[in-house]
Amino acid sequence: MGPVSKIEPLGGGVSQTRKVTLEDGTVGCFKWGGGLPEAEVAAWEVAKQVGMEDMVPPAVIREMDMAPPHGRQRGSFAEWMDGTTAERISEPGAQWGNDEHDVMRAAMFDFVIGNCDRHEGNWVVDDGKIRLIDHNLALSNYPFSEFFREIARTRMADTSLATYVKPYLDKLPHILAAVSGAMAQQRVPAYEKVVSDMEARIHRAASAATWGALLEELGWGSPSWSGSAAGASGPPPNARS
CATH number at residue 37: 3.30.200
> Is 28 part of a structural domain of the chain?
yes
> Is 225 part of a structural domain of the chain?
no
Q: Looking at the structure, tell me whether residues 123 and 203 fall in a common domain.
A: yes
- Which of 32, 52, 79 is at the close of a domain? 79
Q: Looking at the structure, tell me whether residues 158 and 212 fall in a common domain.
A: yes
**Poorest-confidence range of 46-60, 116-130, 201-215, 221-235?**
221-235
Percent of the chain having pLDDT more than 70?
88
- Which of 79, 94, 113 is at the close of a domain? 79
Domain hosting residue 23, numbered range: 4-79
pLDDT, tens digit, for every residue of 45-86?
999 999 999 999 999 999 999 888 889 999 999 999 999 999
> Is 101 part of a structural domain of the chain?
yes
What is the structure's pLDDT at 82?
Answer: 95
What is the structure's pLDDT at 143?
Answer: 62
Q: Average pLDDT in the 199-211 region?
A: 93
> Is 230 part of a structural domain of the chain?
no
> Is 239 part of a structural domain of the chain?
no
Q: Looking at the structure, tell me whether residues 187 and 107 fall in a common domain.
A: yes
Using CA atoms, how far residue 13 sits from 16, 26, 136, 189, in Å, is: 7, 24, 11, 24
What is the structure's pLDDT at 230?
Answer: 36
Amino acid at 90: S
- Of 95, 119, 96, which Cα lies nearest the Cα of 13? 119
> Is 241 part of a structural domain of the chain?
no
Query: Can you give the pTM of this predicted structure?
Result: 0.87
- Which of 33, 49, 79 is at the close of a domain? 79
Taking the C-alpha atoms of residue 184 and residue 214, their distance in angstroms, rounded to an integer, is: 31
pLDDT above 60 (res 191): yes
Q: How many domains is the chain partitioned into structurally? A: 2
Q: Looking at the structure, tell me whether residues 54 and 112 fall in a common domain.
A: no
Q: Looking at the structure, tell me whether residues 144 and 202 fall in a common domain.
A: yes
Peptide bond into 173 cis (omega under 30): no
Q: Looking at the structure, tell me whether residues 52 and 138 fall in a common domain.
A: no
Are 129 and 99 in contact, with CB atoms under 8 Å apart?
yes
Q: Average pLDDT in the 9-26 region?
A: 87
Are 180 and 191 in contact, with CB atoms under 8 Å apart?
yes
pLDDT above 70 (res 129): yes
Per-residue confidence at 1, pLDDT binned at 50, 70, 90? low
Q: Mapped to the 3 state alphabet, what secondary structure does the chain carry?
A: CCCEEEEEECCCCCCEEEEEEECCCCEEEEEECCCCHHHHHHHHHHHHHCCCCCCCCCEEEEEEECCCCCCEEEEEEEECCCCEEHHHCCCCCHHHCCCHHHHHHHHHHHHHHCCCCCCCCCEEEECCEEEECCCCCCCCCCCCCHHHHHHHHHCCCCCECHHHHHHHHHCHHHHHHHHHHHHHHCCCCCHHHHHHHHHHHHHHHHHCCEHHHHHHHHCCCCCCCCCCCCCCCCCCCCCCC
Q: Looking at the structure, tell me whether residues 44 and 102 fall in a common domain.
A: no
> Is 238 part of a structural domain of the chain?
no
Average pLDDT, the chain: 85
pLDDT above 80 (res 149): no
Query: Which residues partner with 30 through β-bridges?
Result: 18, 77
Contacts 24+ apart (CB under 8 A), 189-198: 194/42, 194/114, 194/139, 197/114, 197/139, 197/141, 197/230, 197/231, 198/46, 198/112, 198/113, 198/114, 198/139
> Is 198 part of a structural domain of the chain?
yes
pLDDT above 60 (res 236): no
Q: Looking at the structure, tell me whether residues 97 and 162 fall in a common domain.
A: yes
Q: Looking at the structure, tell me whether residues 121 and 56 fall in a common domain.
A: no
pLDDT above 60 (res 20): yes
**Poorest-confidence range of 89-98, 143-152, 209-218, 219-228?**
219-228
Q: Looking at the structure, tell me whether residues 147 and 191 fall in a common domain.
A: yes
Q: Looking at the structure, tell me whether residues 176 and 103 fall in a common domain.
A: yes
Q: Looking at the structure, tell me whether residues 65 and 97 fall in a common domain.
A: no
pLDDT above 70 (res 41): yes
Gyration radius of the chain's alpha carbons? 17
